[in-house]
């Protein structure tokens, strides 16, 4: 079994879901007492969030690249950035290490293509919904991406940073998200990408009938396949 490298803490609430999903995936494949081999560096999210909102992506890339080097030095055979938004600096991080980076958008695109989803709604931070680094990766795989309108994007973003990264789950916010999802469906979305690793804490298949693509779960599954040579 190969060792999975994680860059976590962005937020730690969703990183715990990565750890759980990866270990559950290994156990499902191997059974018994098997668990995943993981090397993780968990950053201080307050520092990263401040850099995001000030637009200092270069310093954020430097911090994550240093953390990635630490993960590689700890024996990791691959690297996952445990957040959608920070894939904005994925190329910088990937170039700082010699191990492969498993890109969250590529893993998600593979699942969408497997299910023949051609038009999808994207929920995430404002950075992920509004900037090109994530959407273009999906579009390069033949997937049309629809995002909410400006007012809704702010609502989705604010709920992530004010509530979800703190582990605060509000029924009213779930209803807000469901209304946004309904509008995306009206715009032609065949499925919804939960393009922030915290969103699955709020929205799941029990509260909506449209297919959901949980990027935390998808990313974790891709890591398990790599670790067990099933990719």
Active site residues: 83, 196
β pairing state of 3-8 and 212-214: unpaired
DSSP alpha helix (H) spans, 96-198: 104-114, 126-130, 132-139, 150-162, 171-186
The 3-state DSSP class for residue 28 equals: helix
- As a whole number of angstroms, the distance between CA 27 and CA 130 comes to 38
Map tokens 């991406």 to a residue: 145
* Residues in a beta bridge with 122: 193
- As a whole number of angstroms, the distance between CA 21 and CA 221 comes to 8
Give the chain's largest Cα–Cα span: 49
Residues in the chain: 231
């Amino acid at each position: 079994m190969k060792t999975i490298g994680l860059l976590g803490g962005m937020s730690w609430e969703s990183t715990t879901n990565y750890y759980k999903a990866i270990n559950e995936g290994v156990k499902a494949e191997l059974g018994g007492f098997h668990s995943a081999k993981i090397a993780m560096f968990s950053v201080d999210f307050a520092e990263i969030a401040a850099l995001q909102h000030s637009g200092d992506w270069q310093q954020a890339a430097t911090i994550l690249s240093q953390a990635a080097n630490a993960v590689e030095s700890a024996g990791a055979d691959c690297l996952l950035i445990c957040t959608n938004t920070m894939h904005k600096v994925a190329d910088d991080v990937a170039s700082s290490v010699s191990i492969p980076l498993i890109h969250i958008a590529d893993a998600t695109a593979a699942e969408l293509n497997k299910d023949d989803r051609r038009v999808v709604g994207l929920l995430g931070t404002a950075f992920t919904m509004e900037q090109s680094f994530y959407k273009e990766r999906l579009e390069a795989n033949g997937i049309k991406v629809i995002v909410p309108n400006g007012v809704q994007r702010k609502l989705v973003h604010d709920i992530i940073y004010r509530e979800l990264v703190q582990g605060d789950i509000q029924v009213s916010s779930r209803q807000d998200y469901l209304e946004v999802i309904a509008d995306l469906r009206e715009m032609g979305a065949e499925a919804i990408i939960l393009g922030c690793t915290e969103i699955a804490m709020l929205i799941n298949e029990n509260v909506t009938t449209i297919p959901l693509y949980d990027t935390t779960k998808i990313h974790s599954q891709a890591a398990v396949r790599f670790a067990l040579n099933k990719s």
